[in-house]
Amino acid sequence: MNIVRAGVSKNIKIFMTQYRQMNLLRSQAYVDGHWVTSRSGGEFPVYNPADDSVIQNVPDMDEHDAERAVQVAADAFQTWKHISAKERSKIIRNWFDTCERHANDLAEIITAESGKPLSEAKGEVAYGNSFLDWFANCARHLNGEVIPSPWPNKQILLTRQPIGVVSVITPWNFPYAMITRKVGALMAAGCTCVIKPSEDTPLSALAAVELAEQAGVPKGVINIITCNRNNTPAVGKVLCENPNVACISFTGSTHVGKLLYGMAAKGIKRVSLELGGNAPFIVFPSANIERALDHAMLAKFRNNGQACVGANRFLIHEAIYHEFVEGFKARIRSKCILGPGTKDGVTCGPLVNMEQTKKVAGLVDDAVKKGAQPLIGGKIAAELGNKFFESTLLVNVTPDMKVFNEEIFGPVASVVKISSEDEALKIANSTKSGLAAYVFTTDLGQAFRMSRELEFGMVAINDGILSAAEPAFGGIKESGIGREGSLHGALEYTEIKYTLMSGLED
C-alpha cells in the first residue's frame, strides 16, 4: 500500500521569495479599469495548500463594493453592446495572444494557490486559452434569422442581442480556465461582467484580468471583486438579486447552485449553472483494457480528483474485473506521486483546503467501516502535510456507502463489479447528478445504446478526457442548466428579439 511521495521543503523563505518574483501577482481587485482596495480596507490572505504559507493578501470586499462593481458593469454595457462583432473578436483575440505570451507566469500562480502540479497548471492555461481563441471566432457567428412570413408584405426578423450584465462566480479547481470559458463567451455576445472568484484561488483570476487590461479590454467590461467566506453570502446576494444583473453564471457545488438559483428566481434572471457530478466509468468485456486503464488514470486522478467530470464510480464487468483492478492498482502505485506542485515529477498535489481533505477522509472512513477494502492508499500522508491524501483504490463498495452516492472530489476510486449492460445502466443512472459518463467498449451497437440510455449531458466512449472549447459542456438533472464552450456557450448570453416589419408596401 505504498504511495510514492516527494518531500516538502520547510524553508518558507524560499517560497516567499518565489512569490515575490511572480510577474502577475496582484494584491488589489479590479473595478472600472482601476486596481482598487475594499471599501472597508479589509483584506484576507491567500494560502498555498502545500505548506499553508501566505502567498498574498487581497481585498475582503462587501456588498457595497459589489453594488458598485455591478453599476460599473451596467454603465459599460451601454457602450460595449454597440461595439461591432468584428471589434469584439479582435479584442478577445488580443487577450488570447497576451495570455499565450504569459502562459508560464499564469501557471506558476495557479500552482501556488491551488496546489496542482506545475505540469497540470500549464495544461489548464492551454485549456483556458483555447476558449479565448474559440470565442474570438464565435463573436462573428452569432447570427439571427429571417423567417418566411405567413402574411403578405410583412417580414419576420429574429436577431440576437446581448443579455446584459453577467455575474460570474467561479470555483477553485480550475481557477483560470473557468474565467476564460465564461468571460470569453459573454464578451463575444456583447455582455459585461462582474467576477467573484473562489476565496481559495483569487490570484489566478486577478492575473487573467491584468492580462485583459494589457490586451485593451475596455474599462468596465470585466470587473473582479474578491472576498473571504464571511462576506461571500452578502456579495452573492448582490450578484444574484441586483436589478442590473441579467444572468448568473456559476460553476461549483450543487448545494450552492441551488441557493443561487433560488435568489436568481426572485428577479426571473437567466442562469447558467455547471454543478456537481457523480460520473460512472463503465468497462465492458470487449474493451481494450490497457486503454481503459490509461484513461481511468486521466479521468480519476487529473487535478487529484478535484474535477466535476472526474470519474467517481468504476463499474467493471465481472469478466474482466480482476484484470482491471490489478492493473489499476499497479498504475496508481507507479504513477501517482504525491508532493508539492512545484517539485519535479509530482503528479498529485495537496487537496485545496482542510474542508476538502476532511470530506474525502470521511468518505473513505465511512466506506471502510461498512466493509470496503482499500487496496492502496486510504489515508492522509501526514509526513507531507495536512492536505495530502493518498491516491486510493476501494473495492467491495456497496450502495449503502457515502462514497457510492456522493461526489468524491478527491483521489479516491471506488470499484463496483457488474454482470450486464442493464445493471451498468441501472447503477449509473441511480443518481440525481447527470454531468459526465465514460464507457469503454469496442461493440459499436453497445456504444450507441449506452450513449442513448445514460442520463448524462456528456458521454465519452473509450476516452477519459472529454472537455474542449468546441463541444457543448454541461449536464442534466441536478448537474446544471445551460451549456458552456461551443457556439452554444456564447448563445447562452443572448436574447432573441422578434421584429415584425410591416407596412412595407407603403
| Active site residues per annotation | 274
d(CA 54, CA 16): 8
d(CA 252, CA 261): 12
Cα Rg of the chain (Å, integer): 24
The grid coordinates of residue 325 equal 483492478
Strands (E), 99-182: 145-147, 155-162, 165-169
**Of 348, 366, 354, 259, the residue nearest 310 (C-alpha):** 348
**Of 193, 194, 131, 199, the residue nearest 171 (C-alpha):** 199
d(CA 9, CA 141): 51
Contact partners, residue 365, CB within 8 Å, separation at least 6: none
**Of 2, 86, 88, 93, the residue nearest 333 (C-alpha):** 2
Region of 164 please: left (phi>0), alpha (psi -120 to 50) or beta. left
Q: Is 369 exposed, middle or buried (0-12, 13-18, 19+ CB in 10 A)?
A: exposed
